[in-house]
Amino acid sequence: MPEYKAPIRDIKFVMQELFDCDNHYQKLGYEDASLDMVDAIINEAAKFTEQVIAPINQSGDEQGCTWNDGEVTTPDGFKEAYQQYVEGGWPTLAQNVDFGGQGLPHSLNTAITELFSSANHSFAMYPGLSHGALATIEAHGSEQQKNQFIPKLVEGSWTGTMCLTEAHCGTDLGMLRTKAELNDDGSYSLTGSKIFISAGEHDLSDNIVHIVIARIPGSPQGSKGISLFIVPKFNITDDGAISDRNAVSCGSIEHKMGINANATCVINFDGAKGYLIGEINRGLNCMFTFMNVARLGVATEGVAAAEASFQGALAYAKDRLQMRSLSGVKNPDGPADAIIVHPDVRRMLLTQKSIAEGGRALIAYLAQLVDIGHASTCEEEKAAAETKLALLTPIAKAFLTELGLECTSHGVQVFGGHGFIKEWGMEQLMRDTKISCLYEGTTGIQALDLLARKILGSKGKILKAFGSEVTKFCLENAEDDAMQEFIQPIMSFGGDWQKMTEKVGEKAMQNPDEIGAASVDYLMYSGYLTLAYFWAKMAKVAQDKLSQGTDEEAFYQAKIKTARFYFQRILPRAKGHAACVENGGESMMALDADDFSF
């Protein structure tokens, strides 16, 4: 199993040098988030992930969760690790001080989240879902609900879930059958069954707070009749203390491809007591608070997977001897050269490195936008941040998880036959990562959200804020000879992005299916270009550091060389996606359903 090491230096590069987190935090009033504090927290998180969470990753996968008469037991070591997580104050890091949180920035917590996910994807999901439950209750709950539920969720003694999917409907939530009937005391009785509920039942926390969508009798059919409810595993008193067991039970746990140490549950509600959040029939609107938090978290999982697989592949490639280099012997004292000398192995390693580091920059940028939304006192600045988040969240979620999965495949490939063997841990990374492309909206759903709802729905206006930022950066560096290898492609691809958007819009007016036909390729094109922008920014920082003089020359030179690899070997993929968009959807829709028979 690869020994995970937190990429502290690169995290600090992104936070402190690329995005100047110190100035960002002070401007927003996060006075406690000094550079010394940020460094100390990241260093402690690194120790926790390396020494506590990572060692139970492979054993957790092998043992898995066990179900017995509705009760779920997590693998050996998970309960103890979670207790250390709570005792260390990690759940409280970025939470509201009014409810017992530390009030530190979301972007700092996001950096820590990557470490947890890289070290142990299954473990990280248990507390990760609580953040979405917290955000939903804080944004839409009543004062009583906030006081009853949030403090325990903040401290981590309670955890949260999101209950959307039912056996007969996945993405089409308007088809749900779970019903909520009003009780005399103002609460509701929920009846129905939900599937695929991550962390839906376990032995880590004292209570589990389910955020559940259901339909109140008499509500409209479809998504317009969805309401949102808080349904705890154990009922609680008015002052938030645990009372009797609610009519919520785990019918079974799923047998899955990956994330075996996280309980994915069938949750049954048999007249369970729940509490309405927000307005009747506005549940889906409230639910998007949870889903948007979750989508950024899943995008981070893609980066985490790329990083973990890169680390394992790199260590193996430096050690494994196989064949001689075509350009001459590199290891004359050995029977063969280390496989890292071979160009194809370099291709895979640099793909992993460029996606992990580029994705880390994109996630850090988005997390700072979330900081602005939470803490800025300037409404114009907050609105601009929300617009960029609306554009980039579906790109980050889909693009980074698809590329994260590719990177785990490269990790297996670098190991060759050994990568297919469980003891090395590389195949686990691949199995664990596939789910990130699926939950919180599949790649296709994210692509439709981006192209149909965000881009075409705004008539392209949503591109303006981010596009202007990219253009400004390019113009500022237009006379910098060292930057031309990065600036010119961005300008060219950016112009094509705009033209592509206009053409898809024109086709869609004639045939709406053109949107679905173009959407995934459009999103992937957008992702490659977006990451190119952040790689160009990183190259600029590295060049400036080198010109100023530094004792970390190798680190900054590696940044520039990796940026060059991304632009020469990864960014050109976007042209293929552009060609697919240009060719339209006619060939996709030409076959009748019966013609697919075999």
* Residue 345: alpha-carbon gap to chain centroid: 27
The mean per-residue pLDDT over the stretch 503-512 comes to: 95
pLDDT at 598 over 80: no
Tell me, what's the pLDDT at 247? 98
Tell me, what's the pLDDT at 239? 85
Tell me, what's the pLDDT at 288? 80
The mean per-residue pLDDT over the stretch 486-513 comes to: 96
The mean per-residue pLDDT over the stretch 50-58 comes to: 98
| CB-based burial, 424-461: b 16+ in 10 Å, e otherwise | bbbbbbbbbbbbbbebbbbbebbbbbbbbebbbeeeee
Tell me, what's the pLDDT at 294? 87
pLDDT at 69 over 80: yes
Q: Per residue in 330-358, pLDDT tens? A: 999 999 999 999 999 999 999 999 999 99
Number of domains in the chain: 2
The mean per-residue pLDDT over the stretch 235-262 comes to: 96
Contacts of 141 (CB under 8 A, 6+ apart): 149, 150, 230, 277, 278
Q: 438 and 466 share a domain?
A: no
Tell me, what's the pLDDT at 292? 83
Q: 522 and 402 share a domain?
A: no
Strand pairing report for 207-214 and 158-163: parallel
pLDDT at 287 over 90: no
Residue 191 lies in a domain: no
Q: Cα(201)–Cα(265) distance, rounded to whole angstroms?
A: 7
Q: 335 and 432 share a domain?
A: yes
The mean per-residue pLDDT over the stretch 117-144 comes to: 95
Tell me, what's the pLDDT at 1? 65
Which of 417, 447, 477 delimits the end of a domain? 447
Residue 431 lies in a domain: yes
User: Mind telling me the catalytic residues?
Assistant: 440
Q: Per residue in 81-123, pLDDT tens? A: 999 999 999 999 999 999 999 999 999 999 999 999 999 999 9
Q: 295 and 443 share a domain?
A: yes
Q: 323 and 418 share a domain?
A: yes
Tell me, what's the pLDDT at 79? 98
Q: 291 and 431 share a domain?
A: yes
Residue 324 lies in a domain: yes
- The mean of the pLDDT values for the chain is 96
Tell me, what's the pLDDT at 238? 86
Where in the sequence is the domain holding 529, given as residue range(s)? 461-589
Q: Per residue in 141-174, pLDDT tens? A: 999 999 999 999 999 999 999 999 999 987 788 8
Task: Determine what percent of the chain is predicted with pLDDT higher than 90.
Answer: 94
